[in-house]
Amino acid sequence: MHKLTLTIALFGVLLMAGCRGTISDKPPIHINPNMDFQNKFDPQEANPFFADGRAMRLPVPGTVARGMLKEDTGFYLGRTEGGAYVQTLPIAVTTEVIRRGQQRYNIYCAVCHGRSGDGQGIIMTGGYGYTPAPSYHDDRLRGESDGYLYDVITNGVRNMPGYAQQIPVADRWAIVAYVRALQRSQNATEADIPASELASIEQGSTANIGGGRTGTAGSGTGQQAATDTTNTQ
């Protein structure tokens, strides 16, 4: 026990002596210097190994990042392999897709195009000097293909910017699906309503079929009608 105590005390003295702050002109000791001093080239640094002298190299031609092959041109570009717009959505339209499209539409689109798609969003009615946004309910846009609407969301048109960086591909198609629901709801007739639903509406004295055609009904009418249309499909 006495020897152990003496050994510990001697070790402590030597340790303190090594930490007494003596100045040295030798470099610090690196246990594993490989991680501090690596043989590598920094960005934009010259590299004489290559003929052009650049250390930063371009990817091999034809290189595609994992998950970015995008073979499905209809889904990613909204076009056929021949370059024409696809006529219908390349995704299954479900209630979940419509509701997702409604959420994204209200965030990115409603400020200009209005909640009901009538082109009367706050940016258009607030006197900011923007070119008026068209109504989705005119015959021209009702007759356009789904691929065209997707392309406009992606790349923009006239003074509308593209939203490819802000809105993922699947969400762009969800917005297209919701726009179609808005168009259908704001141009609906009695023939579009199932008999059971029509009877329920008439019994409750809440029918407003004519007023919904213009897209100028009370706040939220078009939005609710779009959801109701989806639920009756």
Looking at residue 1, what is its pLDDT?
62
The residue ranges of every structural domain in the chain are 73-231
Spatial neighbors of 84 by CB under 8 A, at least 6 apart, are 147
Looking at residue 166, what is its pLDDT?
96
Looking at residue 72, what is its pLDDT?
93
Cβ neighbourhood burial of 69 (10 Å; 0-12, 13-18, 19+): exposed
Among 193, 168, 140, 152, which Cα is nearest to 70's? 168
Q: Dump pLDDT digits (tens) for 115-170.
A: 999 999 999 999 888 889 999 999 999 999 999 999 999 999 988 999 999 999 99
3-state secondary structure of 79: strand
Radius of gyration of the chain, Cα coordinates, nearest whole angstrom? 33
> Which CATH class name applies to 73-231?
mainly alpha
Q: Could you tell me the pTM of the whole model? A: 0.63
Q: How many CA atoms lie within 13 A of 134 on its CB side?
A: 15
pLDDT along the chain (233 residues), means of 10: 76 63 74 75 92 92 87 94 95 96 96 94 91 92 95 93 95 97 87 83 62 41 49 44
Number of Cβ within a 10 Å radius of residue 144: 15
Looking at residue 21, what is its pLDDT?
61
